[in-house]
Structure 1
Amino acid sequence: MIFLSSATIAPMRFLWLTAVLSAGVGVLAAHSANVWLDTRIALIGDAVGLQHSTNPGIAWGVRLPPVVQPILILVALIFLSWFAWRNAQTRIAQVAFGLVLGGGAANVIDRLPDGLVTDFFQVGSFPIFNLADSCITIGVGLLLLELLIERWRGRAE
């Protein structure tokens, strides 16, 4: 299989390494919250803390029909994997796509037993979120930064 040869995997090693690490840490963090986080732990008064919550929806609790949601998530991850494979040429892009894919995979794995995602970071009145969500957000931020850097370099040349 040419798709899985060392010639095709080696250039994307940062993408896959980041994806596997972020997925693993995201799943471990969610499992830890499920096991040990019984009551809210204040980190900065009422503003920031650890608080166990579950979420049946996708981003910010948005719910889709039960049949549509897993299909949409799976299609999105497959498309994003394909897109990253074809377009992540720089290390920053590989790490960014790896964070998004790993975070998405962690949320899918967390959702498998009961259809719920475990959330545990509470910041102000913002919806409670988890480490996988943070990976996705940071990855998207890095992709935007990469676009800005490329645009800036294009103007400088």
Structure 2
Amino acid sequence: MVKGSEAQRSRGSLVAAGAVAVLVAIIDLITKWTVTRWLGPSAKDREWWIVDGQLGFDYGRNSGAAFGLFQGNAELLAAISVLVAIGFCWLIFHEVDGVVARVLSAGMLLGGAVGNLVERFRQSYVTDFIAVGPWPRFNVADSAISVAVLLFIVTVVFQTRTETGDDGQSSTHEA
């Protein structure tokens, strides 16, 4: 049975992660819409560089996975994305323990997945536009997903090191 304060913390974590997810998805979809209008198929120029050829905006349609990998498998990738997002969010929520970074991680992952899935289901591709050198091209959703996974891993590693101490031995001692 879940105690009152644990239930409130869990409910609060869900609400916070949900809010982050909605925010990430909205920002992702608005930036994709804006870039499509600005640099999309009907635009005179499809790229705008802040640092010539190294950092900028370069419109592209991605029918593959993050960073343009596995092109042409939209339906399979959509199904895999849904399963991975659900599985990773389940893992995060079972490991949240009131850790703010993990709540943010869950929200960012879910928001990024939703942002990309909306486009993938609506048009069979995802709009990529952030350019770093000749490769990769990605979007806000891809960034959120990558940061979420990294943030979760860092919190797990940090927690493990805190629990075991520097010598690898558990810091809790039984009498």
TM-score, length basis structure 1: 0.86
| Aligned partner of 2:86 among 74, 78, 91 | 78
CA distance in 1, matches of 2:87, 2:155: 20
Q: Is 1:143 the equivalent of 2:152?
A: yes
* Residues 122/154 of structure 1: CA separation in 2 closer, same or farther (3 Å cut): same
Q: CA deviation at 1:85?
A: 2.9
C-alpha distance in 2 between matches for 1:148 and 1:96: 14
**Aligned match of 1:123:** 132
Structure having the higher Rg: 2
Q: Which residue of 2 aligns with 1:54?
A: 61
1 CA distance for matches of 2:147 and 2:11? 24
Q: Distance in 2 between matches of 1:67 and 1:107?
A: 13
- The alignment-based identity, stated in percent, is 22
Output one character per residue of 1:89-141: Cα deviation in whole Å (capped at 9) or x when no partner. Answer: 21111101211111111000122221010000010122211111010111111
**Higher relative contact order, structure no. (Cα contacts within 8 Å, ≥ 6 residues apart):** 1
Structure 2 portions without partners, runs of 5+: 1-6, 166-170
The Cα of 1:84 is off from its aligned counterpart by: 2.9
Contact 1:30–1:110 under 8 Å retained in 2 = no
The TM-score normalised by the length of structure 2 is 0.78
In the alignment, the residues of structure 1 paired with residue 138 and residue 132 of structure 2 have an alpha-carbon distance, to the nearest angstrom, of 9
1:112 corresponds to which residue? 121
Q: 1:144 to 1:83 in 2, by over 3 A?
A: closer
Q: Is the 8 A contact 1:15 1:94 kept in 2?
A: yes
CA 1:76–1:153 in structure 2 vs 1: closer, same or farther (change >3 Å)?
same
Backbone CA RMSD of aligned residues? 1.9
Q: Is the 8 A contact 1:14 1:91 kept in 2?
A: no
Query: What is the aligned length?
Result: 152
